[in-house]
Amino acid sequence: MLYDILIKSFKLCLHIAILFFGINGYSQTKPGDADKVGNIKAKRLIFDKSLGIDARRLIGDVQWESNGSIMRCDSAYMFSDKTIQAFSNVSIVKGDSVFFYGDSLRYDPNKKMAYLKGNVRCIDKEMTLTTNSLTYDLAKSKASYFNGGTIVSKGNTLKSKVGHYYSATKDVYFHYNVTLVSNDYHLSGDTLRYHSTSKTAYILGPTVIKNKENTIYCENGWYDTAKDISRFSKKARIVSSDQELLADSIFYDKKKGYFRATKNVRVIDTTHKSFILGNFAEHFEKGNRTVVSNRAVYGRIVEKDTLFISADTLYYNQPDSMKTFVKAFRHVKIFKKDIQGMCDSLVYASHDSIMKMYNSPILWASNGQVSAKLIVLNTNKEGIKSFELLSNAIVIQKVDSVDEFKFNQIEGKKMDGYFSNDTIRKLNVIGSAEIIYYVKQNKGYKGVNRTTCNDLTVWFDSEGVNRTTFRKKPQSTVFPIAQVKDEELRLKHFLWLENKRPKTKADIFLK
C-alpha cells in the first residue's frame, strides 16, 4: 500500500517538473506512427500552459521523420492533433537529393502536408527554387507556390506567379506571368512545364520567345534549352527582320540554323512583298534558303494584282538584301489576272525582274498564246513588260472568239515581244520568219496573208494584226477569204493549248 502511494507521488512530481521546468534530452517513438510522425528528438521538452495542457514545446536540434522525409528546426510546438509548428533554421530532407529550407514550418502529419514560409528554398541536383511561401505534399512529392517563385537551373532563370514542382519526376509546372530567361533568349507565356534534368521547356499556352534573330510565337510545343532545338505548333509563327514563317508545326535547330515546317506553311518576305505557300518546307539560315513542296506556291504582289507560281518544288533564295531568286521544278504553272503560263521548270530573279521558263514553256495573254524552247520574261512593277522566245518560237492569236479555227500565227528562230496594257502590242521576229494572218475589212475579213521572210515586225491592236513590216526577201500570198479552209492554215509548230490554260487561281494546282 505504502509502495503504491510512493509511486503515484513520484509520477505527480515528475509531471509537475515537466510542466514547469521541462525535460532535457527528449525522444519519442510510438509504434504505428511511422507514417505520421515518428522518432521525434529535441534537447529539451517543455509543456506550455499558454497553448493548452496538450501542447509541448521542443527546443534545440529538433528533428522528426514522416513519410520518408526528415524535418529539422531550432524549436517547435507539437499539438494534440500531432500538428507541428516549427521555427528557425527549418529544413526538410527528402532522400539524398531534395532539400527544403525556410524560416518557419507548419506540418500536418494527418494530411502529410508541410507549409513553409519566409526565405523558402527548394534545392535538388539540377535547380534551385526560391519563394516566400511553399506547400509541400509529402505523399505526392509535390511542392507548390502561389504567390511568385523563381527557379535557377544551369543558366536558365524561370519565374511565374504559380508553380508546382514534382521532385520524383523533376518536372515543374508554371502558371501566370511565366518567364524563362537565358543569355540567348527570353521566353514569356501563360503556362509552361520545365523538366530540370533534360533542361526542356514544354509550352502549354500562348507563348513568345525572343532572341537576337527571331521572335517566335506558338501555343504548344517544346524547347530543349541544352541542345537549342525546339518544336512549335498551334498558331506557330517565327518572325525575323524581313521574313515570317508560319505553319501548323515548326521544328527549329538553332545551332544549325535549320527550320522544318509542315502543313499550311507560309513564308512571307515583308521586304519584297512576296510569299511562299505549301505543306512542307525547309529553311536554312545560312544563305537564307527555303525549299517548299506539296502544293507549293510562290506569290508576289505586282501593282494591284498578285503573280502566282506553283510547282511540285519551289526553291527560294535571298543571299543578301538586294538579290532574290525563285526556282520552280516540275508541273510549273503561272497565274495572274492578265497573263498565265506553264512549263517544266522556271527561274525568277525578282531583283532584276527576269523570269526564265524552260522545257516546253507556254504563255497566254488575252486571246494569244506564245511558246518556244525557252521563254524569257522581263517584268516591272506593273507586270510583264516584254518577252523573248528562243528556238521553235511561235505566237498564236485567236482571231474570232466565236470561230474556233481562225488563228493568226507567227513563227521564227527568235522573237522579241512587247506588252502594253497587258496585251502584246509589238513583235520582232528574227530569222526564218513566217506569218499567217487574217486581213481585216470593215467588220469582217477579206482574206488571209501568208508570208515568209528573214525578219519581220508585227503591230497588234485590240482586233488582231494591225500592220506588218517584212525584211529580206519576203514571199507573200493572199488567199481570198472564200477559198480559205481555216483548219488547214497551220504553221509547223502550231498547237493550240487553251484547254491547259489556268483560268483561275485554283487551276494552278491542276496537273
- Residue at 58 is within a domain: yes
Which residue type is seen at 310?
S
**Cell triple for residue 419?**
506588252
Strand partners, 4: none
- Contact indicator for 381, 302 with CB cutoff of 8 Å: yes
Q: Is residue 15 left, alpha or beta, with left meaning phi > 0 and alpha meaning psi from -120 to 50?
A: alpha
The chain-wide mean pLDDT, for the chain, equals: 85
Name every residue whose Cβ is closer than 8 Å to that of residue 196 and which is 6 or more positions away in sequence.
124, 126, 127, 151, 153, 170, 171, 172
Domain that holds residue 390: 361-511
pLDDT at residue 20 in the model: 37
Strands (DSSP E) contained in 303-382 are: 305-317, 325-336, 339-349, 354-358, 362-365, 368-371, 374-380
- Residue at 212 is within a domain: no
φ/ψ (deg, to 5) at 4: -60, -40
- Contact indicator for 121, 128 with CB cutoff of 8 Å: yes
Q: Which band of pLDDT confidence, cut at 50, 70 and 90, is reported for residue 3?
A: very low
Higher pLDDT, 30 or 38: 38
* % of the chain surpassing 90 pLDDT: 44
- Residue at 372 is within a domain: yes
Name every residue whose Cβ is closer than 8 Å to that of residue 326 and which is 6 or more positions away in sequence.
298, 309, 314, 315, 316, 317, 346, 347, 348, 350
Higher pLDDT, 155 or 331: 331
φ/ψ (deg, to 5) at 482: -70, -25
CATH of the domain at 399: 2.60.450
CATH of the domain at 62: 2.60.450.10
Q: Is 177 helix (H, G, I), strand (E, B) or coil?
A: strand
* pLDDT tens digits along 330-350: 999 999 888 899 999 999 987
* pLDDT tens digits along 344-376: 999 998 778 899 999 989 999 888 899 999 999
Strands 142-145 and 149-153: unpaired
- Residue at 392 is within a domain: yes
- Residue at 383 is within a domain: yes
Cα separation of 228 and 183, whole Å? 12
φ/ψ (deg, to 5) at 165: -115, 125
The domain tally of the chain equals 2
pLDDT at residue 295 in the model: 93
State which of 129, 144, 167 marks the end of a domain: 129
Burial group, residue 17, by CB count within 10 angstroms (0-12, 13-18, 19+): exposed
- Contact indicator for 97, 125 with CB cutoff of 8 Å: yes
Strand partners, 247: 236
Higher pLDDT, 442 or 474: 474
Q: Which band of pLDDT confidence, cut at 50, 70 and 90, is reported for residue 87?
A: very high
pLDDT at residue 351 in the model: 76
CA atoms within a 13 Å half-sphere pointing along the CA-CB vector of 376: 11
Q: Which band of pLDDT confidence, cut at 50, 70 and 90, is reported for residue 502?
A: very high
Give the length of the chain. 511
Cα separation of 476 and 239, whole Å? 63
Q: Which range (101-110, 288-297, 412-421, 437-446) has the least confidence?
A: 437-446
Higher pLDDT, 125 or 93: 93
State which of 68, 95, 129 marks the end of a domain: 129
- Residue at 420 is within a domain: yes
Higher pLDDT, 53 or 303: 303
Mean pLDDT of 78-92: 88
Cα separation of 264 and 236, whole Å? 11
pTM (predicted TM-score) = 0.76
- Residue at 443 is within a domain: yes
State which of 94, 113, 129 marks the end of a domain: 129
- Contact indicator for 419, 365 with CB cutoff of 8 Å: yes
- Residue at 448 is within a domain: yes
* pLDDT tens digits along 20-37: 334 455 565 554 444 456
Q: Is 234 helix (H, G, I), strand (E, B) or coil?
A: strand
Q: Which band of pLDDT confidence, cut at 50, 70 and 90, is reported for residue 49?
A: low
| Cα dist from 442 to 77, 439, 445, 463, whole Å | 115, 10, 8, 11
